[in-house]
């Protein structure tokens, strides 16, 4: 693979369902609903993983963790991040940083931001200060605005290992 800095983008969305915990950035957040999915449905981790894999030119997380695969049922999405970080190393790259935005009307995630940064950083082998996490609402528009689910977007930068990670 060619050296230099490369950037990837990730996007994910999950709908709210009753009877599941809400997990974002590996943190279980008190809320009336959780997110629907085959894994723990951590929309934030999924977007970050896709951003890392995209920067590497790899397929998305569905390739590595297919929906419906019984081995992936209920898996922690932090494990998905660990796989993305391992792929990065295997391909001769280091992860420089990730930056993500959650889009949700509720719950408030700011009180959990530092724990999310720590969890994601640990799973990716990054210092927490290299993991940006922001949150916004959708101004009550669309499915997110109607509180039907949560969306997340992320970008990641990787650098050829021989060039260091500044």
Q: Which mean pLDDT values do the consecutive 10-residue runs of the chain (166 residues) have?
A: 82 97 97 94 98 96 87 90 96 97 94 97 98 95 92 97 66
Q: What is the CATH number of the domain that holds 20?
A: 3.30.1330.50
* Confidence at residue 67, expressed as pLDDT on a 0 to 100 scale: 82
Q: Long-range CB contacts (< 8 A, 24+ apart) of 79-82?
A: 79/123, 80/39, 80/45, 80/46, 80/49, 81/45, 81/48, 81/49, 81/52, 81/120, 81/123, 81/124, 82/123, 82/124
Q: Which domain holds residue 106?
A: 5-163
Report the number of distinct structural domains present in the chain. 1
* Confidence at residue 80, expressed as pLDDT on a 0 to 100 scale: 95
Structure pTM? 0.94
* Confidence at residue 162, expressed as pLDDT on a 0 to 100 scale: 80
């Amino acid at each position: 693979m060619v050296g230099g800095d490369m950037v990837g983008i990730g996007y994910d969305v999950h709908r709210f369902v009753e009877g599941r915990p809400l997990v974002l950035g590996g943190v279980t957040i008190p809320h009336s609903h959780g997110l629907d999915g085959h894994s723990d449905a951590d929309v934030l981790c999924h977007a970050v993983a896709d951003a890392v894999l995209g920067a590497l030119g790899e397929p998305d997380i569905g390739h590595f963790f297919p929906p419906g695969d019984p081995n992936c049922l209920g898996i922690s999405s932090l494990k998905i991040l660990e796989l993305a970080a391992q792929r990065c190393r295997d391909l001769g790259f280091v992860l420089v940083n990730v930056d993500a935005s959650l889009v949700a009307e509720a719950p408030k995630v700011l009180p959990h931001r530092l724990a999310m940064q720590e969890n994601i950083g640990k799973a990716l082998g990054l210092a927490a200060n290299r993991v940006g996490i922001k949150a916004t609402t959708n101004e009550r528009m669309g499915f997110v605005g109607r509180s039907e689910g949560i969306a997340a977007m992320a970008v990641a930068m990787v650098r050829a290992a021989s060039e260091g990670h500044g």
